[in-house]
């Protein structure tokens, strides 16, 4: 029997989708290859990365050892300093990767201790590309079990050790925020790059669906899964994305005259006051830089989270709900219950979720095109980081489950496949970071990162880490 923490969200998501189906013409509406794959035509022009030299690998390892209380890493590779870095744009750069990405010969834990772990036979494509560009792996970062959650148990926020990092890529975000590495890899299914990036005060990029190969990355929900960078700045995210995607690129034309739509919806109205103030200041910074900021509405945005939830439930269960895995007691009871619940979702409800996702994709495409928008602007997370033990967060007089609040605003790009960037844009009264999210047309990562560079206000824990360009 399912506990209420699992059964209630499943039933709620299904009810929301069934209700939506009464008012939407979604029959036959399913995503196409063109919408979710890689179109190499009309690609944007990335920014030129800032000229810098990476910190030494030995120094990064020393910092990781000295920050053990963060719980950011599940494995450190002490022999990394002896590895010769390939010449390239990342030559000698210390890199950390989430513990669901294959590196040949290494144990890939997937956030578990049992049979969900494996020894990787080959490198993931993303790691191949990073090593060819000169990156040097110093360690594997902590993650939520199977990447199925917006928390990272055992991982602490560098800004306040009594707060969580979010998840599921919490270890990667903590490692970057603490100044251990300049670049880490994460995965994002329902927000798992953008949520911890926002809560830890760093930049995180969810790429266009299909732009970065997923081979060698443990799946959760293949319809939604992406792999991308968490880095100190938007410019660093773009440099990493250029390496990971291996797509042609050139420099963007500039931001003056661009239009950005400040998204107003039922979801974006329920945010903490500090988040609202930071987003208002962000819009003002864009206007001061010559960007036209206009208010836009997307009434069906509220359906993104239930659609993503149902898709994730079914596809995760399809991959992970094996008798062997459920029987070996390696998974937490909550994750095992989620897998069983996902196996029980009706096929008709799964298809409905896919159709709602396709409708939302068309809605976003139509809005971007009709309004001539370079991006949508909205909060990444409606609150700042909560304590790890918190079950709910308060927004005004209303309490909302942490898991629902954290993923409420990231679900839109997850189901539509559009690229989304989170950058730090301020802080609350306790000094905890606030993140802003930019969602753009497919393959507009360069424009998003250029806009992100305009608005980002990085926040480093005290004492601030030394610049990564110093040797």
Distances in Å between the Cα of 305 and the Cα atoms of 109, 191, 224, 392, 448 are: 27, 11, 12, 17, 23
Is 96 in contact with 139 (CB distance < 8 Å)?
Answer: yes
Q: Which of 168, 265, 407, 414 is catalytic?
A: 168
Catalytic residue at 168? yes
Distances in Å between the Cα of 38 and the Cα atoms of 29, 231, 376 are: 20, 24, 21
Handedness of CA 364, 370, 374, 380 (dihedral sign): negative
Q: Is 451 helix (H, G, I), strand (E, B) or coil?
A: helix
The per-residue pLDDT for 26 is: 57
Q: Is 334 helix (H, G, I), strand (E, B) or coil?
A: helix
Closest CA relative to residue 232, chosen from 72, 91, 50: 50
Residue numbers in the chain where pLDDT is lower than 50: 1-2, 32-55, 463-471
Q: Which of 172, 192, 223, 245 is catalytic?
A: 192
pTM: 0.90
Q: Which domains does the chain have, with CATH numbers?
A: 4-455 (3.90.1300.10)
Q: Which of 98, 172, 245, 265 is catalytic?
A: 98
Closest CA relative to residue 100, chosen from 211, 185, 207, 206: 185
Closest CA relative to residue 243, chosen from 448, 46, 43: 46
Cβ neighbours of 270 (radius 10 Å): 16
Residues 6+ apart with CB under 8 A from 463: none
Catalytic residue at 98? yes
């Amino acid at each position: 029997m399912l506990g209420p923490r699992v059964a209630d969200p499943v039933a709620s998501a299904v009810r929301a989708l069934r209700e939506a189906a009464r008012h939407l013409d979604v029959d036959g509406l399913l995503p196409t290859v063109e919408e979710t794959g890689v179109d190499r035509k009309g690609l944007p022009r990335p920014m030129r990365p800032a000229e810098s030299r990476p910190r030494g690998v030995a120094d990064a390892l020393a910092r990781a050892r000295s920050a053990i209380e963060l719980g950011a890493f599940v494995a450190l590779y002490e022999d990394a300093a002896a590895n010769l870095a390939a010449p390239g744009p990342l030559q000698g750069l210390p890199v950390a990767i989430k513990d669901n990405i294959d590196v040949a010969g290494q144990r890939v834990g997937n956030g578990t201790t049992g049979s969900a772990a494996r020894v990787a036979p080959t490198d993931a494509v993303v790691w191949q590309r990073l090593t060819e560009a000169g990156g040097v792996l110093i360690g594997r970062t902590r993650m939520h079990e199977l990447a199925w959650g917006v928390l990272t148990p055992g991982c602490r926020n560098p800004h306040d050790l009594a707060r969580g990092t979010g998840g599921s890529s919490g270890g990667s975000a903590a490692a970057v925020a603490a100044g251990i590495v300049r670049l880490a890899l994460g995965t994002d299914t329902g927000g798992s790059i953008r949520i911890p990036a926002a809560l830890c005060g760093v930049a995180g990029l969810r790429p266009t669906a299909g732009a970065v190969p997923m081979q060698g990355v443990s799946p959760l929900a293949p319809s939604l899964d992406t792999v991308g960078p968490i880095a100190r700045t938007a410019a660093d995210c773009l440099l990493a994305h250029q390496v990971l995607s291996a797509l042609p690129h050139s420099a963007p034309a500039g931001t003056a005259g661009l239009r950005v739509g400040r998204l107003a919806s039922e979801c974006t109205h329920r945010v903490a006051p500090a988040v609202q103030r930071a987003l208002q200041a962000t819009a003002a910074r864009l206007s001061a830089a010559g960007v036209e900021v206009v208010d836009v509405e997307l009434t069906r945005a509220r359906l993104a989270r239930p659609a993503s939830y149902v898709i994730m439930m079914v596809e995760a269960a399809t991959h992970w709900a094996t008798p062997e895995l459920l029987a070996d007691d390696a998974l937490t009871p909550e994750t095992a219950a989620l897998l069983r619940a996902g196996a029980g979702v009706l096929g008709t409800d799964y298809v409905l979720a896919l159709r709602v996702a396709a409708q939302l994709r068309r809605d976003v495409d139509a809005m971007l095109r009709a309004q001539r928008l370079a991006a949508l602007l909205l909060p990444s997370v409606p609150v700042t980081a909560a304590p790890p033990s918190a079950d709910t967060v308060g927004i005004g007089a209303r309490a909302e489950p942490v898991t629902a609040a954290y993923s409420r605003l990231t679900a839109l790009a997850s189901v539509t496949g559009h690229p989304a960037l989170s950058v730090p844009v301020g802080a609350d009264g306790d000094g905890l970071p606030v993140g802003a999210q930019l969602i753009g047309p497919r393959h507009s990562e360069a424009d998003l990162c250029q806009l992100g560079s305009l608005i980002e206000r990085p926040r480093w824990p005290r004492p601030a880490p030394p610049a990564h360009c110093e040797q």
